[in-house]
Structure 1
């Protein structure tokens, strides 16, 4: 490497030494790319049908599977103000079509194998659609309608041409030119070539001068043949080895969606505009330079940070297009050259944004070094699980449109690009950005089958906020980087936190029960198979057991273990404990013995209420009472115990599952439980003749509502025996027999019940996990 004397300054030498490892890696990657890009592209016969490129073949196969879709249409429109020379425009377009073989390529299937061949171009005639006689508002609507019609109209791949043109006349000196191409023959870079060369030719024709465009030395069909010959054997395998390692066990992105994912991908899309002001754009460029990354890498790191914060996933894959024009002679050729690379960044360990930039840079550089591997071959090598409703490797894409933008200055007319939203989406989310006039502009394209516009608008605001905070404090951990906008913070902290409501703040659970006993003493409180228990009898049983517990030292603040199957005795035990001022701790008989021992020790349980059949399982540190023994109910005292229990006293302690570590006991107060009951009663009020169902294990928080929600409102509660609860068919029959109208279930059991049940209950509460929308 030669340079003039003095070029290697001390400062530059210091930078080279500092980044020695990265420079060596870059040179190694560059050499790997040169092995392919340095091979010349051979010429082929003009009339010989040619194989498709790998990317074309993928789109062709997709078209065979789902014909008639417009999701791969690329449409541009330009408003032309001034005296348009339509003849010169027609000549320019004809010259352009003859110059670029892709614009006159058709596709045929020979014995099931797709091939492409060039057709001869005849002279082109534009027949403007005249809208000038319409009123202004009607003319605008008609222009928009025709733009969308062109953008959404599918191409027939077996037709003669995958390229459409339409000229609209809005006024004598105002026209709109629409050109639409199928992705099989073009890409974003090519659309830029088309625009630049069209107006360059137009200028030449208007001025009467000879066309000045340089001669093309390569045709796209020749590139396709070269690609297939070059990318095979050891050359291809070397690149695929990287991608197989990099994308092994690629995770799906688990974004929260507004609707369940449909069975098949619909490709219906929407757009959310996004604009980053000049000051922020300049700050992003400055940060990128300081950290030795490109602007794209910074935008990628922020986008993956956004997805991390919305999903909690630390392994994020975002796709990105690469121009894939490293071979000599193809920079100015119109065709489908673009390739896709999947950029997988690890966000674990709560790194700073600076560290995330470093990780993103490393992943990007490695990806660029192996971009020659067609993405179609990468997917084939990975052979991931295929689903009809999502992409197998990634669900999001980032596109920074930084293709060279050469000014078009045709004589006598002014050009204005028209944004077209063809209302399609290839992926769940795609972020499109471009830098114009010192600021970043773009949009988030999203699947309307999955997301509401308001959801994506919030996400766009979060991305903006993350970028602002990243440039302000790049050393901050990505886990704590603020992303809420000021209106959202106010909504969360003020508006949504305005939850003040009237409820009996100073009343305990058992006091509400005792008040209901006074109102309906002879009403049925509990049912179990063929037995029934009135409110008066249930209260009496609870009082007698409460006095016995008090004699054993149970009082305010004391925790009592309860290992009792669903039964009258279980409900009696809970009421008795609450009446003493104590709190109950559920001990599920199905838990392993070691876990039960841990809970008893951790909660410092002094007294245990259980059934005789569980006597061998565990031993409390103090007395054990067997609630299924008749003698325990014998007492002369049956009135409500007269001891004051504060509403801010513990009512129960339920332990977490321990799936993320050691189980933890969560203490719930009387006041909190009563607050929730009051909200539920108001939101889902009971009606006359309703019946509640108790089938949830006491160890799950849903059991609290199942037991007390109905009991405190005078509504009978039907207790489901243990064996019946485990058999969906028997459960459905039991519910029907007892005319149950209220039921709390998890989604898996809900599906089983609905499959068996032809007479749905009035109220089904789905709990624990998101439920299937189809079930409702």
Structure 2
């Protein structure tokens, strides 16, 4: 690079300096951003490449590299010209599944490749043609260039330029404001006053607020992105927005208050600090909302309140604090932390309120007007250098994204964090004036589990092994014995194991790993049992869904649980209307002798085996996590019942309820026979008593009320 190639050189913003430091320090893909866009229609790669180049020419920030060697302070260098090439591949010859695997592999390789901030073009595009009229765009860039606010601006203009090129029209866009104007404004901003403000704000705070559980081997491990979602329906969302108005605060401050209360409980203190991401766009700069670059910053939020305080009072205090903090939000986090005795340990959790729309375009929006294609879907990937981030997305249905580093926090633990936050939401929705001391973080099911652990007997029940391992032990002992009976059809332990193994291997091939939540949608049938065992053998946790549930409840359960996959009976697959990776059990058990062997175990008895949903106090179902050890303790070597290979157990309970675990595993973990009951027999007491007699049922779990009805019908 020589001087003739350089347009301008100027300093970095505080946030850019922080990102440069972490990128050089970690070298692990931190601050790598990736957006995948799916298109359907008439699309021309050549015109798209011209459009991308137009946008690069239009914005200085996209022609910028960052120099940090042989200079006193890092500088950003804007080049006069920067050619950008769009990688494109035609993969129409691949099946849908293989095409998706190919694109995911490419996206992963891009993340692994990362960016050299001083040498690379810090933005890359790839286009994949998957079908005659279907395309996927993978857009990768370093976060040091711009923040999430900018993505909708850039994509909107990119598609607008494409339309103009396609139709032979002149491009008519307002003149772009260079990012250097913002850097120039920062030079005249009073940094000393900001430092004094943050020093005073954090005065007396000396305890880091953390989440209560970390993996012991987390230090130095590679970052593993994971995400769980909690969503509220439209009516609940509207209720919380109204509540914020009643409190006379923003909804952002309301949810920050709730997170602060949860951190107080975890850390046994009235005083906690967490990070909040702010827009960082000074209103004094005209047209700042259309400028492209990096403006966001992370600043501390302090929640200091005793147990008699109300959520309203905390939220109002946060509102007052945020108005003061806004004037001083341009000081880098590193400089803010320097004034605290905790230094780099000041923040361990980050909360982001996404007050800009996620980039989404279609052929009818004003941005996408007259486009010859439709944007079907937009997915984003980003990696922070914090191990926990809570993102709040205020759409018509509020979404809370729990984004975390799996190398530090495991999924079952994070499910519990999500459950605790949801418990707070439910209680505040029921009673907005509730005092902090009245809030219960743990739900009834978790309290019950804790009591059970306190009253555990000393009976040896194989607590170190998973349900899959305990079942496989019975297969070795009783391969030829009948394991399952349904409508005259019988499966031996060996046959049942082989079918479950085939499905488990196919789930593994599709990415199911330890603690992956997999929805199961099945009616009463052997395929239902095969599906449950397959998920367990693959290492996942199954989420049983009754096909009779309303569509809205099914959607809620899949979203709320963060289910990654759904395994379904073929004739029930159309009951699911949302976008989720699906495999039918009929496809999964297709004959392939090479897949009949037991998969290698990938989890332990303390991992989650299943997620059971029950009705919540406000009508919303509530998910309960059940570990392998919890179930095996109930059915193996118990001190209240003796189950043997001679027993026949009747599966009376709906598999979507926790009572079913006794029926299913009481049989299959003890070498007994499980008899599945037809739906018709469950609704007819005379048929039920006949099944019990004809099948020689020796054990079944039944409520007292139903037992009394049975004895009345057949004494």
> Distance in 1 between the 2:181 and 2:327 partners?
23
How far off is 1:322 after superposition? Answer: 1.3
Inter-CA distance 176–487: structure 2 relative to 1 (3 Å threshold): farther
How far off is 1:131 after superposition? Answer: 2.1
Inter-CA distance 125–183: structure 2 relative to 1 (3 Å threshold): closer
2:39 counterpart SS class: strand
Verify: 1:402 aligned to 2:355, yes or no. Answer: yes
> Distance in 2 between the 1:366 and 1:250 partners?
22
How far off is 1:264 after superposition? Answer: 4.7
Give the match for residue 124 of structure 2: 164
> Distance in 2 between the 1:54 and 1:425 partners?
17
Partners of 2:209 and 2:274 within 8 A in 1 = no
Partners of 2:14 and 2:331 within 8 A in 1 = no
Equivalent residue for 1:69, pick from 28, 51, 60: 28
Equivalent residue for 2:300, pick from 324, 342, 354: 342
1:254-403 to 2 correspondences below 5 Å: 254-260=210-216, 262-264=218-220, 266-326=222-282, 327-380=285-338, 382=339, 384-386=341-343, 391-403=344-356
Partners of 1:466 and 1:482 within 8 A in 2 = yes
Equivalent residue for 2:47, pick from 88, 91, 104: 88
How far off is 1:453 after superposition? Answer: 0.3
| TM norm structure 2 | 0.58
Give the match for residue 455 of structure 1: 413
How far off is 1:501 after superposition? Answer: 6.7
1:656-667 to 2 correspondences below 5 Å: none
2:175 counterpart SS class: coil
Verify: 1:445 aligned to 2:398, yes or no. Answer: no
Give the match for residue 478 of structure 1: 436
Inter-CA distance 501–48: structure 2 relative to 1 (3 Å threshold): closer
1:118-157 to 2 correspondences below 5 Å: 118-121=78-81, 124-157=84-117
> Distance in 1 between the 2:86 and 2:222 partners?
34
1:290-689 to 2 correspondences below 5 Å: 290-326=246-282, 327-380=285-338, 382=339, 384-386=341-343, 391-404=344-357, 407=365, 408-410=367-369, 411-421=371-381, 424-436=383-395, 438-485=396-443, 487-492=445-450, 496=453, 499=456
Give the match for residue 209 of structure 2: 253
> Distance in 1 between the 2:87 and 2:185 partners?
39
Equivalent residue for 1:243, pick from 194, 198, 213: 198
1:128 counterpart SS class: strand
Q: Which runs of 5+ in 1 are unaligned?
A: 1-44, 504-681, 683-776
1:184 counterpart SS class: coil
1:251 counterpart SS class: coil
- Aligned pair count? 447
> Distance in 1 between the 2:259 and 2:434 partners?
16
Q: Deviations over 1:160-216 (max 9, x none)?
A: 421111111211211111111112111111222212211222222223222232112
2:350 counterpart SS class: strand
> Distance in 2 between the 1:187 and 1:122 partners?
21
Give the match for residue 185 of structure 2: 226
> Distance in 1 between the 2:332 and 2:131 partners?
47
How far off is 1:52 after superposition? Answer: 1.7
> Distance in 1 between the 2:7 and 2:87 partners?
31
2:216 counterpart SS class: coil
Partners of 2:33 and 2:380 within 8 A in 1 = no
Inter-CA distance 125–240: structure 2 relative to 1 (3 Å threshold): closer
How far off is 1:452 after superposition? Answer: 1.1
> Distance in 1 between the 2:120 and 2:219 partners?
34
Inter-CA distance 51–277: structure 2 relative to 1 (3 Å threshold): same
Equivalent residue for 1:180, pick from 140, 144, 154: 140
> Distance in 2 between the 1:261 and 1:190 partners?
37
Give the match for residue 105 of structure 1: 64
Give the match for residue 613 of structure 2: none
| TM norm structure 1 | 0.54
How far off is 1:425 after superposition? Answer: 4.5
How far off is 1:147 after superposition? Answer: 2.3
Verify: 1:215 aligned to 2:168, yes or no. Answer: no
1:676-755 to 2 correspondences below 5 Å: none
Inter-CA distance 58–127: structure 2 relative to 1 (3 Å threshold): closer
> Distance in 1 between the 2:331 and 2:71 partners?
27
Give the match for residue 158 of structure 2: 198
Partners of 1:165 and 1:178 within 8 A in 2 = yes
Partners of 2:156 and 2:368 within 8 A in 1 = no
Give the match for residue 78 of structure 1: 37
Partners of 2:352 and 2:391 within 8 A in 1 = yes
> Distance in 2 between the 1:144 and 1:400 partners?
28
How far off is 1:365 after superposition? Answer: 2.3
2:372 counterpart SS class: coil
How far off is 1:450 after superposition? Answer: 2.4
Partners of 2:7 and 2:80 within 8 A in 1 = no
Give the match for residue 625 of structure 1: none
> Distance in 2 between the 1:254 and 1:431 partners?
14
> Distance in 2 between the 1:254 and 1:297 partners?
20
Q: Deviations over 1:254-311 (max 9, x none)?
A: 4321423744575433211221221221111010011100111111111112222223
Verify: 1:57 aligned to 2:17, yes or no. Answer: yes
How far off is 1:317 after superposition? Answer: 1.1
1:77 counterpart SS class: strand
2:211 counterpart SS class: coil
Inter-CA distance 431–319: structure 2 relative to 1 (3 Å threshold): same
> Distance in 2 between the 1:265 and 1:292 partners?
44
How far off is 1:414 after superposition? Answer: 1.3
1:272 counterpart SS class: strand
1:47 counterpart SS class: strand
Partners of 2:227 and 2:404 within 8 A in 1 = yes
2:435 counterpart SS class: coil
> Distance in 1 between the 2:423 and 2:334 partners?
36
